[in-house]
């Protein structure tokens, strides 16, 4: 036994002096790579006011949320391509392409002269960020299986969540000494750092699982394996529902705290504190998931999520959409804690039957959940009316929809499909 947190060390071998799969450095590297995605959103949240001012928008304009939406649409659009590429060329080469696009998109965003061009650059940035998410999912699936996979993913997420804890404060610090464009430059530099670190990573894709070619026929067969598996489809759809309300929170957190509660200067502290709750719960998930099982843990957590979101919604509606600040923060801490127990387990459960097409599976799961989630989140953002009513209703609706989908998905056990 070895590795971080008692997760069994995989059999993938590293070259001399490289990262040993299952080691603490391996987990930290995966978390750093996954963090590319979150960094592109969380570090810029304190800069929304400066971006509005820079492009001549009103102080309460919600158009700036499109900067987040465009980024997530780029992530969703890119993942479907990274899957087969990672299955053909390997994980390391694909990461090189993704990190390069990420850096170019970040620099282009910093140089954007208008909001329209910024949105286009953010889409490109998202295309690069998509690679990190797919590659980490594929690497974890390459090296772990079953509940150990869920535990490993939870460890990655528990470290990765440090980004939303500290990123807003870092963004605010940069904003105190420089313009908002330098926040984006910082992200490009971070991508270069991950790229240099990746040189120590061994290739985790086994030769027998590598696609022999990238013909449309083989990709179609691999996609069919993914999209006809009831477990994978159901858990992906449930993820999409939960991602939708979570993305709405990410995109609108700054304006909710500012417009509903009048909190501006201390927003990074509130946002980071709530993110810290998620990190703690993801670490807890990594400790308990092997004992309970990710399917059973997900079912019980989903039931609690429905009850908690229903109570939260009823309370917010009774307060006419403007509850006390600390009550809202406490309620969000509960909801985000439950999110932290659901997201890694639902993601791992979706990928569990997909061992022989892990890259394609990670791409489709990520694309569908992110694209649908970003669309749903944008619809919720557009309905912001100066109160928390739309968000609270969406939170409960997402819980009910996700629970119904999971019930359908788990109704019968589907035998794992085989790859092409």
Distant-in-sequence, close-in-space partners of 297: CB < 8 Å, separation ≥ 6: 285, 288, 289, 341, 345
State the Cα–Cα distance between residues 375 and 384, nearest whole angstrom: 15
CATH number of 25-409: 1.20.1250.20
Q: Note the pLDDT of residue 197.
A: 93
Choose the most confident range, by mean pLDDT, from 17-26, 111-120, 283-292, 359-368. 111-120
CA dihedral angle for residue 236, residue 239, residue 244, residue 248, rounded to 10 degrees: -140
Q: Note the pLDDT of residue 351.
A: 78
Q: Note the pLDDT of residue 5.
A: 40
pLDDT confidence bin for 15, thresholds 50/70/90? low
Higher pLDDT, 128 or 88: 128
Higher pLDDT, 147 or 285: 285
364 burial via Cβ count (<10 Å: 0-12, 13-18, 19+): buried
Output the CA–CA distances (angstroms, integers) from residue 345 to 52, 213, 295, 341, in the order listed: 37, 32, 8, 7
Choose the most confident range, by mean pLDDT, from 3-7, 17-21, 25-29, 305-309. 305-309
Q: Note the pLDDT of residue 358.
A: 67
Mean pLDDT of 233-248: 90
Mean pLDDT of 305-326: 96
Q: Note the pLDDT of residue 400.
A: 96
State the Cα–Cα distance between residues 201 and 199, nearest whole angstrom: 6
Mean pLDDT of 85-97: 88
47 burial via Cβ count (<10 Å: 0-12, 13-18, 19+): buried
Q: Note the pLDDT of residue 281.
A: 85
Please state the pTM of the whole predicted model.
Answer: 0.71
pLDDT confidence bin for 12, thresholds 50/70/90? low
pLDDT confidence bin for 110, thresholds 50/70/90? very high
Higher pLDDT, 418 or 29: 29
Residues 241/405, Cβ–Cβ less than 8 Å: yes
pLDDT score of 183 more than 80: yes
* pLDDT per residue as tens digits for the range 268-298: 889 888 888 887 887 787 778 778 887 888 8
pLDDT confidence bin for 219, thresholds 50/70/90? low
Mean residue pLDDT across the chain: 84
Q: In the chain, count of helices (H) and strands (E)?
A: 15, 0
pLDDT confidence bin for 98, thresholds 50/70/90? very high
Higher pLDDT, 308 or 220: 308
Higher pLDDT, 124 or 207: 124
pLDDT score of 2 more than 60: no
Q: What is the 3-state secondary structure (H, E, C) of 81-121?
A: HHHHHHHHHCHHHHHHHHHHHHHHHHHHHHHCCCHHHHHHH
Q: Note the pLDDT of residue 420.
A: 42
Residues 242/343, Cβ–Cβ less than 8 Å: yes
Question: How many CA atoms are closer than 13 Å to the CA of 57, on its beta-carbon side?
Answer: 18
Question: Domain ranges in the chain?
Answer: 25-409
């Amino acid at each position: 036994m070895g590795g971080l947190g008692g997760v069994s060390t995989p059999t993938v071998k590293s070259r001399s002096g490289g990262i040993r799969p299952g080691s603490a450095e391996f987990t930290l590297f995966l978390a750093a790579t996954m963090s590319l995605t979150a960094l592109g959103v969380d570090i810029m949240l304190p800069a929304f006011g400066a971006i509005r001012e820079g492009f001549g928008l009103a102080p309460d304009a919600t158009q700036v949320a499109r900067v987040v939406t465009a980024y997530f649409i780029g992530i969703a659009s890119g993942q479907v391509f990274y899957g087969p590429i990672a299955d053909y060329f390997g994980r390391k080469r694909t990461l090189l392409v993704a990190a390069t696009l990420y850096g170019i998109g970040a620099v282009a965003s910093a140089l954007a002269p208008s909001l329209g061009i910024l949105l286009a650059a953010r889409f490109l940035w998202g295309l690069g960020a998509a690679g990190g998410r797919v590659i980490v999912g594929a690497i974890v699936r390459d090296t772990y299986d079953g509940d150990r996979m869920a535990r490993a993913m939870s460890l990655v997420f528990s470290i990765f969540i440090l980004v939303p804890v500290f990123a807003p404060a870092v963004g605010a610090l940069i904003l105190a000494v420089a313009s908002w464009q330098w926040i984006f430059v910082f992200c490009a530099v971070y991508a270069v750092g991950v790229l240099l670190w990746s040189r120590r990573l061994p290739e985790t894709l086994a030769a027998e699982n590598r696609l022999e070619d990238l013909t449309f026929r083989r990709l179609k067969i691999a996609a069919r394996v993914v999209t006809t598996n009831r477990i994978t489809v159901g858990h992906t759809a449930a993820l999409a529902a939960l991602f939708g309300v979570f993305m709405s929170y990410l995109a609108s957190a700054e304006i909710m705290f500012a417009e509903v509660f009048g909190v501006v200067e201390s927003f990074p502290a509130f946002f980071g504190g709530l993110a810290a709750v998620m990190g703690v719960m993801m670490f807890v998930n990594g400790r308990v998931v092997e004992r309970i099982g990710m399917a059973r843990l997900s079912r019980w957590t989903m039931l609690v999520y429905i009850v908690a979101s229903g109570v939260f919604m009823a309370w917010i509606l009774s307060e006419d959409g403007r509850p006390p600040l600390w009550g809202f923060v406490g309620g969000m801490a509960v909801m985000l804690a439950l999110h932290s127990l659901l997201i890694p387990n639902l993601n791992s459960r979706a990928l569990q039957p997909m061992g022989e097409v892990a890259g394609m599976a990670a791409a489709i799961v990520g694309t569908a959940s992110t694209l649908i989630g970003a669309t749903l989140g944008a619809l919720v953002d557009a309905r912001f009316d100066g109160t928390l009513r739309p968000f609270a209703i969406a939170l409960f609706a997402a819980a009910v929809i996700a629970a119904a989908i999971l019930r359908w998905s788990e109704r019968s056990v589907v035998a794992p499909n085989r790859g092409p």
